[in-house]
Amino acid sequence: MKKFDEVKYYQCAKKADKFFKENPFFSDRVTSLISESQEPKSVEDVLHLIHICIDAYENDLILKLNSKPFVDIFEIIYKLKQEDKELLKKPYLEILKSYDYDGAISFMKYVGVEKIPSKTLTDKLKAGGFFDKRFRAFCEMLNAFDVSTEGVTDYMYGSIPEKNDYPYAMFSALSLSGVFLIFITMCSKVYSQDENKNAIIKQYASEFLVLTTKLSYVQNFKNSEYINSLQTSLLFLTNFIAIDFLKVNDLFFSKDIAKIIQRIFSSKNRKDGWSTLDQHYAMAISIAEQRWKNGDARLHHQMALDLRDEIDEPICDQILAELLDKYPTKNKDVEQNKLFEAEKMKRFRYETLSLGTLKKKLKDVAKKYKKYHDPGAKYREANDL
């Protein structure tokens, strides 16, 4: 039986923990602020509390964007602004041609946008049509971009209409973050030979886009005419918590969030399984100690082998019973049999004792009762190893 890869597991768990520690969650802010506040006594108190949560989360996002490595991304974009515009034409044309127009149009249809580009227009856009006009618009956006140590949200606030209809707030946020996405893509192309800039973009661009989208969405809502509506504020609160947990990556047609969720839940399931295994190992140690204490003559390696088989047998029987219930036609259905065998091997691997691990865990107890046999000990001692 293949030994459980503890190093790989803990690396995965550590990465998942780091991911959630480093990303501000709206639910965390809501939970802490509501628990610390006094009981609201009126509708105005509830609305005020919601606004406190929104303001606090906005400040968290601003602080995050004002820290490294995100200020470095702003500086890279600012560097792009200073480049000769002729240098930017070729990479910008490449971006225009590689854009997923069909995916964007499908998304527009899905959300009910009234005016959809015609096939003729779409084909022209795919070929890089209207380049001069689109490039001028890009240059105007780039020229308007500014970076200041006092705050990195000036560009966003300057892009939000004075009166913004809340139902379209997310689309405005996505549109604005789309600008940042183009800037970052341009930077990766223009500075493709700059290892330092590329390393920053490659590692942190995705999180940067998530943060700017969230911040833009919050600011759009705060600038909307619905900010003082309790019903809409509650809707914003619940919707944003849900969106926050999805990490917004899927809105950029990315598979990253699916991989992250898969890893997180995989780690959680393994942690649960590993917790049960810890109990089995503890039981094995307790049984071994009791037996040695009562005069059992078996040495360490034999005791580990016998206990492994003894404890694993009912576990394997339970796993097989559950899988036979799950795949009742496995003997007749080839595909079901494949699924049965694959899941059986996986569960056996993670839910049964490892002989090597058990030997290690029994080592100290075996030494205590003089049942630990180490054939290489004398050699190491003689050679001072």
Q: What is the pLDDT of residues 210-265, one digit of tens each?
A: 788 778 778 778 877 778 888 888 888 777 777 666 554 443 444 444 454 445 44
Could you tell me the end-to-end alpha-carbon distance of the chain, in angstroms, rounded to an integer?
A: 31
Question: Average pLDDT, stretch 68-78?
Answer: 88
- The pTM of this model reads 0.52
Give how many domains the chain has, as a whole number: 2
Are residue 299 and residue 230 in the same domain, yes or no? Answer: no
Average pLDDT, the chain: 76
Residue 306 is predicted with a pLDDT of 92
Half-sphere exposure of 204 (CA within 13 A, CB side): 22
| Residue 256: count of CB within 10 angstroms of its CB | 14
Are residue 112 and residue 196 in the same domain, yes or no? Answer: yes
Domain, as residue range, for 71: 24-246
In a domain, 60, yes or no: yes
In a domain, 180, yes or no: yes
In a domain, 157, yes or no: yes
Q: Which of 222, 246, 270 is the last residue of a domain?
A: 246
Are residue 49 and residue 160 in the same domain, yes or no? Answer: yes
In a domain, 385, yes or no: no
Q: What is the largest CA-CA distance in the chain?
A: 90
Cβ 66 vs Cβ 152: under 8 Å = yes
Question: Average pLDDT, stretch 338-359?
Answer: 88
In a domain, 325, yes or no: yes
Are residue 242 and residue 275 in the same domain, yes or no? Answer: no
Residue 121 is predicted with a pLDDT of 84
Helices (H), the chain: 6-22, 26-36, 43-65, 70-81, 85-98, 101-111, 119-126, 131-144, 154-159, 169-190, 195-222, 230-245, 256-293, 300-326, 334-351, 355-368, 377-382
Q: How far apart are CA 319 and CA 347, in angstroms?
A: 7
Cβ 348 vs Cβ 1: under 8 Å = yes
Are residue 189 and residue 49 in the same domain, yes or no? Answer: yes
| Residue 314: count of CB within 10 angstroms of its CB | 9
What are the tokens at 162?
């004075």
In a domain, 164, yes or no: yes
Q: Which one, of 244, 349, 267, 351, lies nearest residue 24 by Cα?
A: 244
Q: Residue 68: helix, strand or coil by DSSP?
A: coil
Q: Which of 246, 275, 308 is the last residue of a domain?
A: 246
Residue 252 is predicted with a pLDDT of 42
Residue 102 is predicted with a pLDDT of 83
Question: Which DSSP string corresponds to 145-205?
Answer: ----TT-S-HHHHHHS-SSB-GGGHHHHHHHHHHHHHHHHHHHHHHTTT-HHHHHHHHHHH
Cβ 214 vs Cβ 90: under 8 Å = no
More confident residue, 123 or 4: 123
The CA distances from residue 322 to 114, 190, 316, in Å, are 52, 56, 10
Are residue 192 and residue 336 in the same domain, yes or no? Answer: no
Model confidence pLDDT, tens digit, residues 13-34: 565 566 556 666 677 777 777 7
Are residue 354 and residue 227 in the same domain, yes or no? Answer: no
Indicate the range of 72-81, 106-115, 122-131, 232-241 predicted with least confidence.
106-115
Q: Which of 180, 214, 246 is the last residue of a domain?
A: 246
Are residue 192 and residue 286 in the same domain, yes or no? Answer: no
Q: How far apart are CA 152 and CA 286, in angstroms?
A: 60
In a domain, 88, yes or no: yes
